[in-house]
């Protein structure tokens, strides 16, 4: 499958992919807005409920690359449909879970689907558009992830607060089924597979070729950037609901409203990434990471009460909103054709390692130092990520392949 002739921009197909990503990300982060509710119902601590994010993410980390290899010859569309079905099942099992252990098991199932899903969906974008359209296309599909924070997480949080957290998982399962049907109807025929030059093979010659491919160094630089910056972000974001209630003084009933505005601001950040990401990729990314550090500190200092919390958290969300698209674009730009499929798995692993580590470290900080300290630790980790980006930028550029996407 190649880019459409005449460089036409396949907006509708990209929007379908964005919808599939929406339900995927919404499923992953659904517990975030309902930490207090789930903890109270299952009689466990909020930090332990936060570990449900870690369980999901670390499952992705462990399974993404192996499953990518095993399924490399299968239809991309067929895989997307099957994986959406697994997402739906995992949400149903979560809704029916009688205890914390069963709920954690349902998260493992969802994580298995999520890792392979991103390894397929990420590179799939580069097969639908011309190279010069890549940043815009990635911004469209990544918009599904942003929409998850605009609508998915607030919507399920509102349902959970109104009628119980289990119904939030039921609602998400229904949404997943709807987007699975849209995927069947709208995406290219199931016999479209990843071209041979973009498939990660396991024969000895291909493994040696990957090892000798200098662009893997550039991809590695991007992966470490993702790991540091996203770990810092998720260290705080995982516990945004209990922090807003306990430290920010936001009433329980208004948490979903806070999350709604947070998500809307993330869309602004994604728009900025789409507008400036192709023309000024380095400056746009560096500026957004720097703004992320500042906005998290501002949130820690001034988010007291609903309106101040909304305002400063919107700055935080706008700063992070465009970064996933910029990271993915930078990784695809860095990779040569022979490792582009592998790059999808690497970026997925880095992101989900960061999500899991962020939730894990955030829980440790919460238990040992208190909720109020969480954002300061988060800002420090992101600042380290910014330092890494600035220190390694020249080395990353030097490792670019001659056949990279430009």
CA 14 and chain centroid, separation: 17
Distance CA(400)–CA(402), nearest Å, equals 7
pLDDT of residue 304: 94
pLDDT tier for residue 28 given thresholds of 50, 70 and 90: confident
Q: What is the pTM of this model?
A: 0.77
Distance CA(302)–CA(289), nearest Å, equals 20
347-399 pLDDT, tens per residue?
778 888 999 999 999 999 999 999 999 999 999 999 999 999 888 877 666 55
For residue 129, give the 3-state DSSP assignment: coil
- The H-or-E segment that residue 341 falls in is helix 340-369
Distance CA(398)–CA(325), nearest Å, equals 22
Q: Name the residue with higher pLDDT: 330 or 256.
A: 256
For residue 199, give the 3-state DSSP assignment: coil
For residue 192, give the 3-state DSSP assignment: coil
Distance CA(234)–CA(49), nearest Å, equals 14
- Nearest of 325, 347, 329 to residue 68 by alpha carbon: 347
Neighbours of 125 (CB within 10 A): 26
257-308 pLDDT, tens per residue?
998 899 889 888 888 887 776 677 788 889 999 999 999 999 999 999 999 9
Q: Which residues contact 141 (CB under 8 A, 6 or more apart)?
A: 14, 17, 18, 21, 121, 125
Distance CA(283)–CA(281), nearest Å, equals 6
Distance CA(262)–CA(86), nearest Å, equals 29
């Amino acid at each position: 499958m190649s880019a459409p002739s005449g460089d036409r921009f396949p907006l509708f197909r990209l929007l379908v992919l964005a919808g599939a990503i929406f339900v995927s990300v919404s499923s992953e982060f659904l517990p975030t807005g309902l930490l207090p509710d789930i903890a109270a119902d299952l009689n466990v601590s909020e930090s332990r409920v936060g570990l449900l994010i870690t369980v999901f993410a670390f499952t992705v980390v462990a399974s993404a690359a192996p499953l990518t290899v095993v399924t490399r010859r299968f239809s991309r569309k067929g895989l997307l449909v099957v994986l959406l079905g697994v997402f739906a099942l995992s949400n149903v099992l979560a809704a029916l879970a009688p205890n914390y252990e069963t709920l954690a098991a349902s998260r493992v199932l969802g994580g298995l689907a999520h890792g392979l899903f991103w390894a397929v969906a990420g590179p799939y974008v580069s097969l639908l558009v011309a190279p010069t359209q890549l940043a815009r296309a990635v911004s469209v599909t990544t918009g599904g992830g942003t929409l998850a924070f605009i609508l998915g997480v607030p919507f399920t949080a509102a349902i959970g607060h109104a009628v119980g957290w289990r119904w939030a998982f039921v609602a998400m399962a229904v949404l997943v089924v709807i987007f699975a049907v849209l995927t069947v109807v709208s995406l290219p025929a199931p016999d479209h597979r990843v071209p041979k030059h973009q498939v990660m093979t396991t024969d000895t010659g291909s493994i040696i070729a990957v090892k000798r491919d200098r662009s893997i160094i550039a991809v590695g630089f991007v992966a470490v950037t993702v790991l540091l910056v996203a770990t810092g972000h998720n260290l705080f974001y995982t516990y945004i609901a209990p922090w807003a209630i306990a430290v920010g003084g936001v009433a329980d009933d208004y948490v979903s409203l806070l999350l709604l505005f947070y998500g809307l601001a993330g869309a602004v950040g994604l728009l900025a990434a789409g507008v400036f990401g192709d023309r000024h990729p380095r400056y746009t990314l560096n500026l957004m990471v720097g703004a992320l550090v500042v906005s998290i500190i501002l949130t820690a200092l001034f988010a007291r009460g609903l309106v101040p919390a909304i305002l400063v958290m919107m700055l935080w969300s706008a700063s992070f909103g465009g970064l996933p698209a910029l990271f993915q674009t930078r990784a695809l730009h860095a990779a040569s054709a022979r490792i582009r499929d592998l790059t999808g798995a690497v970026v997925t692993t880095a992101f989900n390692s960061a999500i899991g580590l962020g939730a894990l470290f955030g829980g440790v900080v919460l238990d040992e130092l208190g909720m109020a300290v969480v954002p300061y630790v988060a800002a420090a980790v992101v600042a380290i990520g910014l330092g890494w980006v600035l220190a390694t930028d020249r080395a990353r550029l030097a490792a670019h392949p001659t056949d990279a996407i430009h």
